[in-house]
Amino acid sequence: MIQYVHMFSEGDRDQKDLLGGKGANLAEMVKLGLPVPPGFTITTDACRAYLSEGQVPPEVRVEVTQRLRDVEDLIGRQLGDYEEPLLLSVRSGAKFSMPGMMDTVLNVGLNDDSVEALARFASDERFAWDSYRRLIQMFGKTVLDIDGELFSAIMDRAEEAAGARTEVGLDAEDLKQVVAEFKELVLKETGSPFPQTPRKQVDMAIEAVFRSWNTERARLYRRRERIPDDLGTAVNVQAMVFGNLGETSGTGVCFTRDPSSGHSGVYGDYLPNAQGEDVVAGIRNTLALADLEGRDETVYRELRTAMRRLETHYRDLCDIEFTVERGKLWMLQTRVGKRTAGAAFRVATQLVDEDLITMDEALERVNGEQLTQLLFPQFDRDADRTLVAVGMGASPGAAVGEVVFDNASAEARKAEGASVILVRRETSPDDLPGMIAAAGVLTARGGKTSHAAVVARGMGKCAVVGAEDLKVDVTAKEIRVGEHVVRQGDTLAIDGKTGEVFLGDVHVVDSPVMTYISEGIEAGEAAAEDSETKELVQAVHRLLTHADSRRRLRVRANADTGEDAQRARDRGAEGIGLCRTEHQFLGERRQQIERVVLAETDEERETALAELLPAQTQDFVSLLTAMDGLPTTIRLIDPPLHEFLPDLTDLTVKVALAEERGESGPEVDRARELRDAVRSMHEANPMLGLRGVRLGLKIPELFELQIRAIAEAVVRLRKDGKDPQPEIMVPLIGSNRELVIVRDQAERIIAEVAEANGESMDLPIGCMIELPRAALTANRIAQTAEFFSFGTNDLTQTTWGFSRDDVETAFFPRYLENGVLTISPFETLDALGVGELVRIGVEKGRSTQPDLKAGICGEHGGDPESIHFFHNAGLDYVSCSPFRVPVARLEAGRAVALTESGSSI
């Protein structure tokens, strides 16, 4: 038979699934012999049964009766007793903390008779009546569903009548009157009197807590925090103890270490003669915990001992709620405390130094999100700020600068020493120079994998995208937002983490952890402004070094230039997993590609290609130099053709205007020809059209140029005594045959270059797996590919049928709201769908080639949760933006520690 109700003394902290976090920790404290008011926990099983059946299982009532009697025996008071009544608290407690989301009812058990008994027992009439009115108010609101405002209005009137500023000013007589009015209100609103039977109150409160699992705000909170809806909450029923029985009583909260610095010490607040809610409500100023020593040394000592025991036992920073009732300490709650990112790293290493945890455990206690927070420069939270819009934080960081709308202005102002924010409705590869020059990028359209977002993340540059309130007029060079007009040259500040856009300057502070990551431990220590920060830099260094020693996944970077590659290498990248070569065909070179594509004769095309070869070879020379000795995956050109051609609308307008004005001549003819050519190549869904290997097969000269440039770069570097390790990667493969053709072509060119230079050259040729068909036929593709790299951006796009540039602003907000998605699948890998294809791809690929090297180079390569997935799927490496390399190193190490200890991320 299922047991639905457990005394605190029966459980322990490992039973959070069944007892909820609060219940499990209360049980653990009882086990430790700490003074916990007696009570019991009704399990999440009971809640789930309630949620599916619509009623509390009948066994619960029976078990509650038995456990209630145990509690009465333990404390020596009885529910509803006329002399020393037992009062109960009934609180929710789910597996994951959901602060303030669900219901709590205190003082359960009071009625018209026991209130008098309480007054006598406590020798305090006011206290008793105040407790009773609190019960009716809380019970009325949460159990009986009466509008809380109606209770507040009665309180307000009472305060006014008594000439009191707050409820503290009401005396026993006033409160009796309030209770009478509250009871009338209950009768009027529900048609029944306030329940006088204590046991009935208990049962109703339990049911109300179960019910509160599914309130609108609780559901919303769970969606945001990605807590599953089917967990249910436990209910903790516990004997009340009172901190408001005079000056020898009180209530407080404390931490075993400072949650912001991590240092050991006495941290907390204490409020004499008060109940828990009073501390939260902030009606009176609290005392520092240390002041308790002067008020009651015995209690203080006892509390310090309990804090030490808890920390030693949990081997972590704990937070604690306690109450002192007439000189007796009671522990009401404990849990492993929340902390800042910096404290997480410091506490973890402090605990290692105190021999409380191992380095592996320390690694489990920190995460990539926290490390990311430590890497970004941040706005000074205390600064004055004017918020004008909120978009999506697409690439964290803080940037302040002059608004510019185009590349030329961005570059010119940057050259003059200004910091600029590039503002566009959306960005395209054409905007790259402006993005490079800018301190931050702001767009009104696009989602987290829009061009602006991906490129900015790649550069470690702050970006806010999809700030739809901004009316960006690039021609007029102004933004309208609400009542404000922001013109070119005006200052904006953007927060790439929160997506906030501020008017004017906001002070920015730099991160010493970032200095450590890119320049080493000594530079990081030197950049720290105080000893605490220095300790933080050292903690990050120790944990990251440990992660490196533990991880199986290699970490590479996505980088397109020698400069980016060097930056990635400085941050610990062990190779390049993706060089998007199309980024090398921007600016002036775009026109050369345009000529290749639009060439009418072979000769024209050859000339254009011949001009590109030296430049492209130089690109690879600089990339391979930065990555000397390390694998460098160079992807052949991928994007849709139209990205290299002039804009169709511009051309159409140009021709139409010329015709209207009756202009003619070679220039107009040329424009007309160009328009026709571009029109003939126009595609409705370019991302599903002529791109990737398809482009390579249609215009083989493009791939040929790139392969030749790679081979020649190898020759050149080898002559200089270097050790280039390029790997040639073919994008968007859907069929093995496509790869066979490109591989034959590549081998022929490589052999030609090698022979001409008296070299031998065997460059690995592999492909991206970024279409479902590629994953499903990976056993065939592995007959030809020497490596796989999963392109999870396209794989997500094609598996879901989501256009990656459009959907995030179009309907994702709605999908997140109604729970179809818990997070964008472009941000965290959709393990069930896209992840399954990755698994299938790896498995099938290795069924043909057992040692097949497989990596991932989509945006997910830098996402903590996804990295754990890739570790478990048996990939060899992840490749992410240079900025995220340290995060990936840390998470890849954590994946090993967590898997070995059987914990989850």
Residue 131 makes contact with ligand PEP by CB under 6 A: no
Residue 564 makes contact with ligand PEP by CB under 6 A: no
For ligand PEP, the closer CB: 410 or 456: 456
Q: Which does 560 bind (CB under 5 to 8 A by kind): ligand PEP, Mg ion, none?
A: none
Q: Which stretch binds ligand PEP (CB under 6 A): 79-87, 541-549, 790-798, 870-878?
A: 790-798
Q: H or E element: which one contains 300? A: helix 297-314
Residue 734 makes contact with Mg ion by CB under 5 A: no
Residue 791 makes contact with ligand PEP by CB under 6 A: yes
Contact status, residue 884 vs residue 371, Cβ threshold 8 Å: no
Residue 458 makes contact with Mg ion by CB under 5 A: no
> CA-to-CA distance for 348 and 389, rounded, in angstroms?
38
Q: Which of residues 633-672 bind ligand PEP (CB under 6 A)?
A: 638
Choice from 607, 793, 803, 822 touching ligand PEP (CB under 6 A): 793
Choice from 360, 594, 794, 876 touching ligand PEP (CB under 6 A): 794
CA 521 to chain centre: 27
Would residue 451 show up in a list of annotated catalytic residues for this protein?
yes
- Please give the structure tokens belonging to residue 724: 């280039």
Residue 803 makes contact with ligand PEP by CB under 6 A: no
The contacts of residue 409 (CB under 8 Å, 6+ apart) are 420, 434, 488
Q: Which does 159 bind (CB under 5 to 8 A by kind): ligand PEP, Mg ion, none?
A: none
Residue 858 makes contact with ligand PEP by CB under 6 A: yes
Q: Which does 858 bind (CB under 5 to 8 A by kind): Mg ion, ligand PEP, none?
A: ligand PEP
For ligand PEP, the closer CB: 231 or 702: 702
Least distance from C-beta 103 to ligand PEP, angstroms? 45
Residue 561 makes contact with ligand PEP by CB under 6 A: no
For Mg ion, the closer CB: 445 or 691: 691
Which candidate in 857, 868, 871, 880 is catalytic? 857
Choice from 38, 639, 726, 791 touching Mg ion (CB under 5 A): 791
Give the phi and the psi of residue 433 in degrees, each rounded to 5.
-55, -40
The contact mask relative to ligand PEP for 572-611 (x = CB under 6 A, - = no) is ------x-x-------------------------------
Q: Which stretch binds ligand PEP (CB under 6 A): 21-29, 92-100, 788-796, 838-846?
A: 788-796
Contact status, residue 332 vs residue 323, Cβ threshold 8 Å: yes
Q: Which does 28 bind (CB under 5 to 8 A by kind): Mg ion, ligand PEP, none?
A: none
Residue 517 — left, alpha, or beta (φ > 0 → left; ψ -120 to 50 → alpha)? alpha
Choice from 794, 805, 830, 859 touching Mg ion (CB under 5 A): 794
Point out which residues pair with 529 in neighbouring strands.
none
For Mg ion, the closer CB: 210 or 644: 644
DSSP 302-349: HHHHHHHHHHHHHTS-EEEEEEEETTEEEEEEEEEPP--HHHHHHHHH
Least distance from C-beta 71 to ligand PEP, angstroms? 58
Q: Is 293 exposed, middle or buried (0-12, 13-18, 19+ CB in 10 A)?
A: middle
SS3 812: helix
The contacts of residue 20 (CB under 8 Å, 6+ apart) are 41, 44, 92, 93, 94, 95, 233, 234, 236
> CA-to-CA distance for 405 and 425, rounded, in angstroms?
9
The CB-based long-range contact list for 309-313 (8 Å cut-off, 24+ gap) reads: 309/32, 309/34, 310/29, 310/32, 310/34, 310/256, 310/334, 311/256, 311/257, 312/356, 313/28, 313/32
Least distance from C-beta 861 to ligand PEP, angstroms? 8
For ligand PEP, the closer CB: 617 or 799: 799
Q: Which does 499 bind (CB under 5 to 8 A by kind): Mg ion, ligand PEP, none?
A: none
Would residue 857 show up in a list of annotated catalytic residues for this protein?
yes
For ligand PEP, the closer CB: 28 or 638: 638
What length does the chain have?
Answer: 905
Which candidate in 451, 541, 546, 868 is catalytic? 451
Q: Which stretch binds ligand PEP (CB under 6 A): 6-14, 410-418, 694-702, 786-794?
A: 786-794
The CB-based long-range contact list for 645-650 (8 Å cut-off, 24+ gap) reads: 645/594, 645/597, 645/598, 645/677, 645/678, 645/681, 646/594, 646/674, 646/678, 648/675, 648/678, 648/679, 648/682
Q: H or E element: which one contains 621? A: helix 602-626
Which positions touch Mg ion (CB under 5 A)?
Answer: 770, 791, 794
Which positions touch ligand PEP (CB under 6 A)?
Answer: 578, 580, 638, 770, 791-794, 857-858
User: Among all residues, which ones are annotated catalytic?
Assistant: 451, 857
